[in-house]
Amino acid sequence: AQLANQIAAGEVVERPASVIKELVENSLDAGADRIEVEVDKGGHKRILIRDNGSGIGKQELTLALSRHATSKIHCLDDLEQIISLGFRGEALASISSVSRLTLTSKPQAQPEAWQAIAEGRDMRVRLIPAAHPDGTSVEVLDLFFNTPARRKFLRTEKTEFQHIDEVIRRIALSRFDTAFSLKHNGKLLRQYPKAASQAARQKRVALVCGQGFAQQALTISSELQGLSLHGWLSLEPASQPDQQYFYVNGRMMRDKLIHHAIRQAFEGWLPQEAHPAFVLYLTLDAREVDVNVHPAKHEVRFHQARLVHDFIFRALQDALEQPAP
């Protein structure tokens, strides 16, 4: 079991940031609206994710750590319209096979909390009573301690932290209804409070993308035939394409078609080598889009590609042509 898990881990768990992405997505799937992330030494020494979500009952704790145990897909129809972010049922098993992982949880309806630890070659799960408020904590110690080849690929503490910071930024821009915090080596570095109003959302965008972006940003709001595009774009050219956040039905995507439409819309508005900066949300009927089930989950296929392309292009062009406020 451990080998299969370690092989799977190779696909899902590349570095501390990818562990954090999986765990935070689990917390979101569990309905948490407060998620705290703590890391030590770029996440390589310790990762802790604490949420106030639905929790995992004592009976399900062991199952949650085993491969292909997902509570999120019940039939093939569910695959058609994947609502939850995680659906492969292997993140926890994979991560626990390449680290020392403990899962502590308390559902509201259960008076006491329990902690699960998977140990040894056969990954037997031990359960012990614990103290924990409603919700779940996952602690990951010594990532890749038993897979030296993976461990070798870890970069400096600073670089790994930058990847983690970016993962949290991407998620924070997709879930304004959830509060996030990020600590590194005991220092609270990021704090994104819940943002319910448009003004609060704009504040979060400023926290994530910087005041520069927020002050320059044009607001986009366009709808057409079941398609909608909302968000912000900035004419302040970014030196690197690192302020480009595009979400399709709530998931961050990096897609050729989308980027082509954006580049085309910006033509003539930015100097040649400059990169546009944007935070954009496209929503459309889930049946109009196929999301790749590859772990990276960054690719997307639109059934009506031309329509979507032209819609994005026009929406951005209209916003750019608006007279400055």
Q: Which residues bind ligand ADP (CB under 6 A)?
A: 22, 26-27, 30, 51, 53-56, 64, 69-72, 86-93, 136
Q: Could you say whether residue 9 binds Mg ion (CB under 5 A)? A: no
CB 48 within 8 A of CB 138: yes
From the list 126, 58, 64, the residue with the least C-alpha distance to 95 is: 64
CB nearer ligand ADP, residue 189 or residue 293 = 293
CB nearer ligand ADP, residue 74 or residue 287 = 74
CB nearer ligand ADP, residue 26 or residue 243 = 26
Counting Cα atoms < 13 Å in the Cβ hemisphere of 74 gives 1
CB nearer ligand ADP, residue 140 or residue 312 = 140
| 11-19, 25-33, 111-119, 192-200 -> range binding Mg ion (CB under 5 A) | 25-33
From ligand ADP, Mg ion, none, interface partner of 27 (C-beta below 5 to 8 A by class)? ligand ADP
Distances, alpha carbon 69 to alpha carbons 53, 228, 289, in Å? 19, 35, 26
From ligand ADP, Mg ion, none, interface partner of 88 (C-beta below 5 to 8 A by class)? ligand ADP
Q: DSSP assignment of 114-173, as one string?
A: EEEEEETTTTEEEEEEE---SEEEEEEESTTTT-HHHHHT---HHHHHHHHHHHHHHHHT
Q: Could you say whether residue 26 binds Mg ion (CB under 5 A)? A: yes
Residue window 77-96: x/- pattern of binding to Mg ion, with contact defined by CB under 5 A = ---------x----x-----
From Mg ion, ligand ADP, none, interface partner of 70 (C-beta below 5 to 8 A by class)? ligand ADP
Tokens 């003539």, residue located: 268
From Mg ion, ligand ADP, none, interface partner of 57 (C-beta below 5 to 8 A by class)? none
3-state secondary structure of 257: helix
CB nearer Mg ion, residue 27 or residue 234 = 27
Q: DSSP assignment of 196-251, as one string?
A: -SHHHHHHHHHHHH-HHHHHHPEEEEEEETTEEEEEEEEEEEESSTTSEEEEETTE
Which of the residues 91 through 120 are near Mg ion (CB under 5 A)? 91
Query: Which residues sit at the interface with Mg ion, rule CB under 5 A?
Result: 26, 86, 91
